[in-house]
C-alpha cells in the first residue's frame, strides 16, 4: 500500500482498523426494508394516509399560532432576557382577554388596565417580602460580605413585615394572636340578634282557624247555640200544631229514652207519608173512615143486643170498643188540621234533614277537635323537652368555652416560654 492510499491515523495506537459491522433484528417477510423518502410531499393525501410514512409532514400554521396568542398581553417592562449571570431574576406577567372578562387575572395588571384590588396588592406585597427574606438568607449563608456590609436590609424587611402584620390585624378587627381572634369570634356570636319568627309561619298562624276556648270560638259557639234553641222552639210549635205530645207519641215524653236522631227519623217518615197524600187520597180516606164509623156503629148495636141477650163471653171484648172508637174519632178530628198543614210539610222536612246533617257534622267536628287537642298536648310536651335540652346544651357550651379559654391561655404561656428558651439557645446563653 502506497503512502497516498494509507489512512491518515493508521499509525496511531488504539485504532481499530477492522470494518464496522451493524446487526439488525430479524425482519418479518411482509415488512419493507426500502428507505423512506426524505422529500416533503406537497399533496394533502400523503398527510392523511398514516401507512405511507411514519413522519408527520403537516406544516406549521403561523396564522393559528398568532390568533391563539393575540388576546394575550405581556408586561415585560424592566425584564432582562440576557444570559448575564449578574442580571436580576425578574419575570414578566401575562394576562388574556378571557381572564380579564371573568375578573380572574393572575399576577399584576398592566398600566392601561384597572388598578389592582387592595387584597391582591396586600397578597402580592407579602409574597414579594417572603421572596426577599429568602434571598437575604441565601446571601448570608453564601458569605457575600460585600452585600452584608451594606446597610442591613434585614431591618427594612422586619419593618415591612411589621407593617403588613399591622394591616392584616387591622383588617381582622385589631386582633393579634389566637386568643384575641377567638375572643373576637365569641363576642361576634354573642352579639348576633336572636332568630325572629318565620314570616310564613306567622302568616299561617294568622290565617288559621281559632283554637277551642278562644274568644272567637266562644262567640261562634254562642251563635250556634242560639240558632239551635230557636230551631228547637220552632219544632215545639210544630208539634203543638200537629197535636203531638207524650200521649200520642210516647217517644216525646220527658222520660223518653229514645235518642234524638231516631226520633227525628220517625218524625220524618211520618211527615213523608202525610206529604205524599193528595186531595183525592184524603177524600178516599174520609169515605173509608165514614164507612168504618158506620160499621162500628152497626157493630155496636149488634153487640148491645147480644149483651142484652145475656151473652157472658162478649163482656170482656165490649170493654175495648169505646177505646177504639175514641181513637177513630180523634183521627177523624185530626184530618182538618192535616189539610191546613199540608203546604208547610216540605219546608218542615227540609229543616229536619238540615238538623240531622247538623247533628252528624257536629259529631264529626267533635271527634276532629278531640284528636287535635291530643296532638297539641303531645306537641307541647315535646316542645318543653326541647327547651330543657337546649338549656342543658347552653350550659355545656358555656363550660366548653371557659375550658377553651383556659387551654388557650396555658398553651400561649407554654409557647412564649419555649420561644424564650429558643432565643436563649440561639444567643448562646444558658437555658434554665
pLDDT score at 248:
55
pTM, to two decimals: 0.30
The three three-digit cell numbers of residue 153, written as one number: 436590609
Alpha carbon distance 338, 236 (integer Å): 17
Closest CA to 71 of 43, 101, 116, 48: 101
pLDDT score at 383:
92
pLDDT at 260 over 70: no
Alpha carbon distance 281, 305 (integer Å): 36
Question: Are the C-beta atoms of residues 272 and 287 closer than 8 Å to each other?
Answer: no
Cα 426 to Cα 133, 136, 244, 349, 430, distances in angstroms: 19, 19, 120, 111, 10
Instruction: Tell me the pLDDT band of 3, cut-offs 50, 70 and 90.
Output: low
pLDDT single digits (tens) 49-104: 545 556 667 777 888 887 777 777 776 676 777 666 665 555 666 666 544 444 44
Alpha carbon distance 425, 33 (integer Å): 76
The three three-digit cell numbers of residue 160, written as one number: 415591612
Span 294-302, mean pLDDT? 85
pLDDT score at 105:
42
pLDDT at 41 over 50: no
Using DSSP's 3-state secondary structure scheme, residue 106 falls into coil
Closest CA to 299 of 279, 284, 320, 278: 320
Alpha carbon distance 101, 79 (integer Å): 27
Using DSSP's 3-state secondary structure scheme, residue 147 falls into helix
Q: Residue 307: which H helix or E strand, with range? A: helix 279-308
Cα 421 to Cα 92, 409, 425, 428, distances in angstroms: 44, 19, 6, 11
Largest CA distance in the chain: 197
pLDDT single digits (tens) 346-369: 777 788 888 888 888 888 888 888
Give me the chain's average pLDDT, please. Answer: 71
The three three-digit cell numbers of residue 203, written as one number: 302568616
pLDDT single digits (tens) 363-415: 888 888 888 889 989 999 999 999 999 999 999 988 998 888 888 888 888 88
Q: Is the dihedral of CA 13, 14, 15, 19 positive or negative?
A: positive
pLDDT single digits (tens) 203-248: 877 777 665 555 556 677 778 878 888 888 887 777 777 666 655 5
Helical axes 345-427 vs 260-276, angle rounded to 10°:
140
Instruction: Tell me the pLDDT band of 183, cut-offs 50, 70 and 90.
Output: confident
The three three-digit cell numbers of residue 380, written as one number: 307541647
% of the chain surpassing 90 pLDDT: 5
Alpha carbon distance 129, 135 (integer Å): 10
pLDDT: is 39 or 272 the higher one?
Answer: 272
Question: Are the C-beta atoms of residues 106 and 99 closer than 8 Å to each other?
Answer: yes
Span 164-181, mean pLDDT? 69
In degrees, to the nearest 5, what angle opens at C-alpha 417 toward C-alphas 415 and 420? Answer: 110
Which of 40-44, 296-300, 428-432 is the least confident region?
40-44
Amino acid at each position: 500500500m502506497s503512502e497516498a492510499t494509507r489512512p491518515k491515523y493508521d499509525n496511531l495506537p488504539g485504532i481499530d482498523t477492522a470494518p464496522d459491522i451493524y446487526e439488525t433484528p430479524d425482519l418479518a417477510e411482509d415488512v419493507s426494508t426500502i428507505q423512506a423518502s426524505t422529500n416533503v410531499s406537497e399533496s394533502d393525501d400523503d398527510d392523511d394516509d398514516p401507512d405511507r410514512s411514519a413522519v408527520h409532514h403537516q406544516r406549521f400554521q403561523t396564522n393559528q399560532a398568532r390568533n391563539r396568542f393575540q388576546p394575550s398581553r405581556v408586561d415585560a417592562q424592566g425584564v432582562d432576557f440576557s444570559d448575564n449571570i449578574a442580571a436580576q431574576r425578574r419575570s414578566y406577567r401575562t394576562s388574556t382577554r378571557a381572564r380579564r372578562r371573568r375578573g380572574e387575572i393572575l399576577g399584576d395588571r398592566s398600566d392601561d388596565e384597572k388598578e389592582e384590588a387592595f387584597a391582591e396588592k396586600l397578597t402580592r406585597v407579602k409574597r414579594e417580602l417572603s421572596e426577599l427574606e429568602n434571598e437575604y438568607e441565601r446571601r448570608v449563608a453564601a458569605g457575600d460580605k460585600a452585600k452584608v456590609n451594606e446597610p442591613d436590609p434585614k431591618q427594612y424587611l422586619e419593618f415591612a413585615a411589621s407593617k403588613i402584620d399591622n394591616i392584616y390585624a387591622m383588617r381582622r378587627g385589631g386582633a393579634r394572636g389566637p386568643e384575641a381572634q377567638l375572643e373576637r369570634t365569641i363576642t361576634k356570636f354573642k352579639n348576633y340578634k336572636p332568630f325572629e319568627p318565620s314570616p310564613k309561619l306567622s302568616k299561617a298562624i294568622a290565617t288559621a282557624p281559632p283554637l277551642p276556648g278562644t274568644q272567637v270560638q266562644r262567640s261562634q259557639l254562642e251563635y250556634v247555640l242560639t240558632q239551635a234553641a230557636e230551631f228547637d222552639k220552632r219544632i215545639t210549635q210544630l208539634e203543638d200544631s200537629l197535636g203531638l205530645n207524650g200521649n200520642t207519641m210516647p217517644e216525646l215524653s220527658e222520660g223518653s229514652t229514645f235518642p234524638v236522631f231516631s226520633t227525628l227519623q220517625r218524625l220524618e217518615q211520618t211527615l213523608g207519608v202525610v206529604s205524599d197524600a193528595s186531595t183525592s187520597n184524603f177524600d178516599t180516606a174520609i169515605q173509608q173512615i165514614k164507612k168504618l164509623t158506620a160499621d162500628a156503629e152497626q157493630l155496636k148495636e149488634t153487640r148491645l143486643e147480644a149483651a142484652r141477650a145475656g151473652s157472658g163471653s162478649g163482656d170482656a171484648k165490649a170493654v175495648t170498643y169505646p177505646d177504639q172508637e175514641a181513637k177513630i174519632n180523634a183521627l177523624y178530628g185530626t184530618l182538618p188540621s192535616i189539610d191546613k198543614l199540608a203546604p208547610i210539610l216540605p219546608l218542615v222536612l227540609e229543616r229536619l234533614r238540615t238538623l240531622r246533617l247538623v247533628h252528624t257534622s257536629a259529631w264529626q267536628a267533635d271527634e276532629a277537635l278531640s284528636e287535635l287537642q291530643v296532638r297539641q298536648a303531645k306537641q307541647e310536651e315535646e316542645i318543653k323537652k326541647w327547651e330543657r335540652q337546649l338549656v342543658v346544651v347552653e350550659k355545656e357550651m358555656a363550660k366548653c368555652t371557659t375550658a377553651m379559654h383556659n387551654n388557650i391561655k396555658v398553651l400561649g404561656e407554654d409557647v412564649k416560654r419555649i420561644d424564650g428558651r429558643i432565643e436563649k439557645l440561639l444567643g448562646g446563653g444558658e437555658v434554665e
